[in-house]
Amino acid sequence: MIGLGTYAFFWQHSERMPDPLDLAGAFAATREAGVDLFQICDYTPLERMPHREVADAARAARDLGLTIELGTKGIEPAHLEHFLDLAEAFDARLVRSMIPAAGASGALDDAADLLARVLTAYEAAGIDLALETYEQVSTADLVTLVERVGSDRLGICLDPANVVARLESPRACVELSAPHVRNVHVKDFAFDRQPGWVGFTYSGAPMGEGLHDYPHLLETVRPRARGINEIVEHWLPWQGDPETTARTERDWTRRTIDHLRSTT
């Protein structure tokens, strides 16, 4: 399925907006876009919601016919157990997370131990835990970790844009992680020269206009044949004022949905 995530509403959720979009508003906008899946990812208010508000949000999603996925950061067992409870409340089948920086010796061993302590509960619930590719941990180390733990419910959330910050090739990230992918974050990205030719800015781009070889990802990962959801995100720079930024964010979302629906 094609889905929208909270990062597709990054600025619309922001306090820089005169009337920030809440979770119910994002659900409604997702349905208006003709999309049936929403990933609540790194949305801080969710972690503080009392049970009644969680139940209300889950009911609102169900009433709109939305499938929900969840996303957080960290691999502490108590934290992941909390998100397992939230996933069950939302009938979510996937939780995305990110492991801490693994620079210290033994950090991956520690991560494997922490994950092993919680994955039995995920397995019993039939819910996947997908660890995202990003710049703090090499793709090779992430794959090694997933293979070391060896759970059918542990995989990778593929976001090849992130790994450029550690001088990894997005294409190589896609190829290395492909067998373990359970979720895809979709956004395009590009480099722009700074004024005076003194360096570059690495940022988002409208889907299909940047450097992301998405046909290669589709061919290599085969998300649609494997039932892997594709979640729309953006790295949209602030556009100078709230109205222009929100309008551009909505435009990028429409363009990305159209792009994904036009590819096979």
Rounded to 5 degrees, what are φ and ψ at 157? -95, 115
Is pLDDT at 197 greater than 90 in this prediction?
A: no
40 vs 51: CA distance, rounded Å? 16
Which pLDDT score is estimated for 102?
61
pLDDT, mean of residues 165-172? 96
Which pLDDT score is estimated for 103?
53
- pTM score, whole prediction: 0.95
Based on the number of CB atoms within 10 Å of its own CB, is 78 exposed (0-12), middle (13-18) or buried (19 or more)? exposed
Q: How many CB atoms lie within 10 A of CB 237?
A: 13
Name the DSSP letter for residue 137.
Answer: B
pLDDT tens column, 31-60:
999 999 999 999 999 999 999 999 999 999
Q: What's the distance, CA 89 to chain centroid?
A: 20
∠ at Cα 164 (14, 2), nearest 5°? 55
- Reduced to 3 states (helix: H, G, I; strand: E, B; else coil), residue 125 is helix
∠ at Cα 23 (22, 24), nearest 5°? 95
Is pLDDT at 104 greater than 60 in this prediction?
A: no
Which pLDDT score is estimated for 109?
85
Distances (CA, A) of 216 to 173, 222, 258: 11, 10, 18
Is pLDDT at 77 greater than 90 in this prediction?
A: yes
Among 18, 14, 29, 11, smallest CA distance to 257 is for 29
8 vs 159: CA distance, rounded Å? 14
Largest CA distance in the chain: 57
Among all chains, which residue has been given the structure tokens 């049970």?
51
β pairing state of 94-97 and 67-71: parallel
74 vs 140: CA distance, rounded Å? 19
19 vs 138: CA distance, rounded Å? 39
Choice between 206 and 106, residue whose per-residue pLDDT is larger: 206
Does the CA dihedral 22-43-158-67 come out positive or negative? negative
Instruction: Quickly state the pLDDT bin for 106 (edges 50, 70, 90).
Output: low
pLDDT tens column, 199-245:
999 999 999 999 999 999 999 999 999 999 999 999 999 999 999 99
pLDDT tens column, 120-152:
999 999 999 999 999 999 999 999 999 999 999
85 vs 99: CA distance, rounded Å? 20
Q: How many CB atoms lie within 10 A of CB 260?
A: 18
Q: Hey, what are 96's tokens?
A: 């995305």
Choice between 104 and 26, residue whose per-residue pLDDT is larger: 26
Mean pLDDT value across the chain: 95
